[in-house]
Amino acid sequence: MTQKSKLILASSSAIRRKLLADAGLEFTARDSMLDEENAKIAMREQQLNPAQQAHELALLKAKKISNGNDDFVIGCDQILALNGQAFDKAHDMECAKERLKALRGKAHVLETAIAIAREGKLIWRYDASPRLVMRDFSDEFLDNYLNISGERILSSVGCYQLEGMGSQLFEKIDGDYFSILGLPLLELLAYLRLHKIAET
C-alpha cells in the first residue's frame, strides 16, 4: 500500500480484526470512541428502522476517524431486528438468557452495515441482512450453552457465536457467513482490490 492508501478499521471488535488479518490485509484498528448509546437514542426518536440505524452508525464511525486524513477508514455496525424491533448487546448473562428465550423458535435478522470514508466523506457502503431461524431448544440446553459459552457471548448482539457452540442454536440460516459475524468480507475485499489495497 502507498502512504495515501492506508487501511484503518474503526472498531475494537476482536472478530472483525481477526477476519481482516486472516484475509491478509495490512491495517490498523482504532476505536472510533463514538457515543453509540446517544446516537441510537437520537435515531430511534427519528424512527429510523434497524437497517437504517446500522448504516448510520457504521458511517458515523468511519467519518469520525477519517476527518482530516486520506486513509480508507472502515466503519461497521450490526443491529439485531426481531419483528422490526431493534436490539442492542446484552449487558450481562441474565439479559443474555432472556434475549435467547425471546429469539427461541423464531426468525430474526442481523442488519449489518459497512461504510468506508476518506477525508470525512462516504466513498463506499454495503448493507447485508442475513436471516437466522433459532430452533426451539430446551431450557436445559440453554442453561448448558450459557455455562459453557460464558461471558464472551456478550460481545455478540445475538448472544451467540456461529464459529463456536452457538451454531447449535439454529435450524436455518439465510445469508453470508461473514456478514453474520459482523463484516461483509467478500464485498469489502472486492472493493479494496479495485483500489490496490487487497491482492488482485
Tell me which residues are annotated as active site: 77
Q: How many helices (H) and strands (E) does the chain have?
A: 7, 8
> What letter would DSSP give residue 104?
T
Are the C-beta atoms of 78 and 114 separated by less than 8 Å? no
- E runs forming strands in the chain: 7-9, 28-29, 72-82, 85-87, 107-118, 121-128, 131-134, 170-174
Are the C-beta atoms of 141 and 171 separated by less than 8 Å? no
What residues pair up with 85 in beta bridges, in sequence order? 82
